[in-house]
């Protein structure tokens, strides 16, 4: 398996004991992980903190997202897909879309390469 998807899969382990929804995400640029996150909706009582949003927040304000790839263990939802399009992230690798179809078509309609 891809080393970055393995890193995304490792993220939810941190939250498992606190009842987290097990979704993880990493942002990669030029072969390095520049942000990582996991779903914290349960722990924070926060409907916004999906894994992808947590990852983008932890990456900080990087300015230019050209050449970045977002990895997520689950196909990004409409909100996270909106962030992908808004920030100009051009490639998304999703671990799976069987349990949740996400917003693959929306991202593809905005020239994002989505690998499921």
Residues of this chain that interact with Zn ion (CB under 5 A) are 50, 77, 79-80
Residues 6 and 23: their CA atoms lie apart, in Å, by 12
Q: Whole-number minimum distance, CB 111 to Zn ion, in Å?
A: 20
Q: Whole-number minimum distance, CB 80 to Zn ion, in Å?
A: 3
The number of angstroms, rounded, from the C-alpha of 54 to the middle of its chain's C-alpha atoms is: 8
Q: Whole-number minimum distance, CB 97 to Zn ion, in Å?
A: 13
Residues 37 and 8: their CA atoms lie apart, in Å, by 8
Active site residue 13: no
What residues are paired with 24 via a beta bridge?
Answer: 38
Looking at beta carbons only, is 48 or 115 nearer to Zn ion? Answer: 48
Residues that are catalytic: 52
């Amino acid at each position: 398996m891809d080393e970055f998807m393995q890193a995304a899969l490792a993220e939810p382990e941190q939250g498992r004991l606190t009842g987290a929804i097990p979704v993880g995400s990493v942002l990669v640029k030029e072969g390095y992980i520049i942000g990582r996150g996991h779903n914290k909706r349960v722990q924070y009582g926060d409907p916004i903190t999906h894994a992808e949003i947590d990852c983008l927040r932890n990456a900080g304000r990087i300015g230019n997202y050209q050449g970045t790839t977002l990895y997520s263990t689950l196909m990004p939802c409409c909100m996270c897909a909106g962030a992908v399009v808004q920030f100009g992230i051009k490639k998304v690798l999703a671990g799976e879309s069987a349990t949740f179809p996400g917003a693959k078509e929306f991202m593809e309609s905005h020239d994002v390469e989505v690998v499921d």
